[in-house]
């Protein structure tokens, strides 16, 4: 009943967006107002921010070259990360790594053809063998280097293009999940683009394609999408979706179909109000539906489950208060085999999407730019109740999570792309059963061309 009610709200609102806790969203600093709130589906179409180049010398050398070279981009991203987690059974996972990526993208040839590639690496600095499992490194705490992206681009017209071979996505259930050293990347064929004007007649942004394989964030090999989901068959995933926006309203939906394995439908909605110069409000809703298809090779038997959620974001000056609720069907846990989980109550450690679970999250974020430019932080508390074992139907202990996050982004010209981030999360299932997780990351995005 709750799921049906929220689906009605989705359709009634005719909008899309809320600031979910998915890893792609967490790449962004906490929003300082409702205008900066980004939904899981909006991330699919968000433009990458341009950063000032470290030097103009190389760009000047190519000034008289054809557009294919003159408009090329070369970017070095340095990343160092530390991850520690103490499990319920007191076992530990820990690693400190150094790496990043080098990406290059050409300009247009004949105004319609282009190429791009990205090489990723993650190498251990401190990685005890008895504390494996952080997803920072390959199994066995081994370093790795991989050509994660290598794709061709064909511009159809204006903002519409076709990409083929290895690339990255930021859709709700198929995304980079970039919370460690190296993101997920994929092999596939994708159309993406946009039509219209969202301020007048409305704008439609779309993505559609066929994704054959995935490289998980701690692996250097690409495997079939169905195999990565857990099915013993080689199948790719068809994907199609869009986001319609008009003024303060928006509506988005996307579907993922993997033959004989899994079908996932995701929809989200939003309306935003600018109440006055200081106050803003966003009301959002989302719905996820997951079911087996064809030969049911994922679980060996048919299944059908879903989760619905609503969220309210209230901003005052540079502070944002978020209250979110999600409800999951009791038949089966929700899954996200190719991405972070896009639920409104998904947190740093737990996704709060177990069978029968109803979760509430309270979150407060603040941008300290009035006092220290580049400093932001948030804290949240989530509680999940009503959990049931999907195999036995028995009740499962309630779970709670507290997270804290502090980020600092340097503002000087030479350090403009440098940021530091510290995250702490703890999960309680009882007085004795707890998880403690610490993440610390340094990122330096350095455009060279």
Q: How many Cβ atoms are within 10 Å of 354's Cβ, its own excluded?
A: 22
What domains are there in the chain, each with its CATH number?
2-55+141-447 (2.40.160.10)
Tally helices (H) and strands (E) across the chain.
5, 21
Instruction: List Cα–Cα distances, 27 to 23, 92, 101, 179, 405, in angstroms.
Output: 7, 26, 16, 8, 12
Give me the tens of pLDDT residue by residue for the chain, a chain 449 residues long. 444 443 333 333 333 333 344 454 555 666 777 778 888 888 888 877 777 787 788 888 888 999 999 999 999 999 999 999 999 999 999 999 999 999 999 999 999 999 999 999 999 999 999 999 999 999 999 999 999 999 999 999 888 999 999 999 999 999 999 999 999 999 999 999 999 988 788 999 999 999 999 999 999 999 999 999 999 999 999 999 999 999 899 999 999 999 999 999 999 999 999 888 899 999 999 999 999 999 999 999 999 999 999 999 999 999 999 999 999 999 899 999 999 999 999 999 999 999 999 999 999 999 999 999 999 999 999 999 998 765 666 777 889 999 999 999 999 888 888 999 999 999 998 767 899 999 999 999 999 99
Torsion of the alpha carbons at 248, 374, 416 and 22, rounded to the nearest 10: -50
Q: How far apart are CA 400 and CA 431, in angstroms?
A: 11
Query: Quick check: 318 and 299 in contact, CB under 8 A?
Result: no
Q: What is the pTM of this model?
A: 0.91
Burial 171-193 (b: 16+ CB within 10 A, else e): bbbbbbbbbbbbbbbbbbbbebb
The pair of three-digit structure tokens given for residue 425, joined into one six-digit string: 């999360």
Question: If you write DSSP's letter for every residue of 58-83 in order, what string do you get?
Answer: HHHHTTTS-HHHHT-EEEEEEEEEEE
Q: Count Cα neighbours of 378 within 13 Å in the Cβ-side half-sphere.
A: 24
């Amino acid at each position: 009943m709750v799921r049906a009610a929220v689906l009605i709200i989705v359709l009634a609102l005719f909008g899309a967006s809320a600031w979910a806790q998915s890893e792609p969203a967490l790449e962004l600093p906490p929003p300082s107002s409702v205008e900066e709130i980004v939904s899981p589906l909006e991330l699919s179409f968000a433009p990458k921010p341009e950063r000032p180049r470290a030097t103009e010398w190389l760009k000047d050398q190519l000034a008289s070259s054809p557009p294919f070279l003159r408009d090329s981009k070369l970017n070095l991203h340095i990343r160092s990360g530390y991850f520690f987690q103490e499990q319920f059974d007191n076992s530990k996972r820990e690693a400190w790594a150094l790496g990043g990526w080098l990406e290059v993208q050409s300009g247009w040839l004949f105004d319609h053809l282009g190429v791009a590639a990205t090489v990723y690496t993650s190498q251990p600095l401190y990685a005890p063998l008895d504390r494996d499992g952080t997803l920072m490194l390959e199994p066995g705490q081994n370093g790795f280097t991989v050509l994660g992206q290598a794709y061709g681009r064909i511009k159809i017209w204006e903002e519409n293009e076709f990409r083929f071979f290895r690339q990255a996505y930021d859709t709700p259930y198929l995304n980079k999940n970039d919370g460690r050293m190296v993101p997920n990347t994929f092999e596939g064929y994708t159309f993406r683009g946009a039509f219209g004007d969202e301020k007048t007649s409305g704008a439609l942004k779309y993505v559609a394609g066929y994704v054959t394989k995935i490289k998980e964030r701690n692996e250097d090999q690409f495997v079939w999408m169905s195999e990565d989901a857990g099915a013993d068959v080689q199948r790719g995933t068809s994907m199609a979706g869009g986001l319609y926006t008009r003024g303060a309203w928006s509506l988005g939906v996307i579907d993922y179909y993997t033959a004989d394995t899994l079908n996932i439908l995701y929809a989200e909605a939003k309306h935003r109000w600018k109440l006055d110069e200081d106050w803003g409000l966003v009301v959002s809703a989302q719905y996820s539906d997951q079911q087996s298809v064809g030969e049911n090779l994922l679980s060996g038997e048919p299944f059908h489950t879903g989760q619905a959620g609503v969220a309210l974001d209230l901003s005052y000056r540079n502070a944002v208060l978020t209250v979110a609720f999600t409800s999951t069907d009791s038949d089966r846990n929700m899954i996200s085999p190719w991405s972070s989980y896009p639920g409104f109550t998904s947190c740093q450690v737990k996704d709060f999407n177990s069978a029968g679970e109803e979760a509430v999250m309270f979150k407060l974020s603040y941008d300290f730019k009035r006092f220290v430019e580049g400093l932001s932080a948030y804290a949240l508390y989530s509680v999940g109740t009503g959990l049931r074992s999907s195999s036995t139907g028995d009740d499962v202990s309630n779970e709670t999570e507290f997270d804290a996050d502090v980020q600092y982004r340097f503002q000087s010209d030479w350090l403009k792309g440098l940021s530091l981030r510290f995250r702490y999360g703890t999960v309680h299932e009882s007085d004795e059963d707890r998880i403690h997780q610490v993440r610390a990351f340094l990122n330096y995005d350095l455009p060279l061309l």
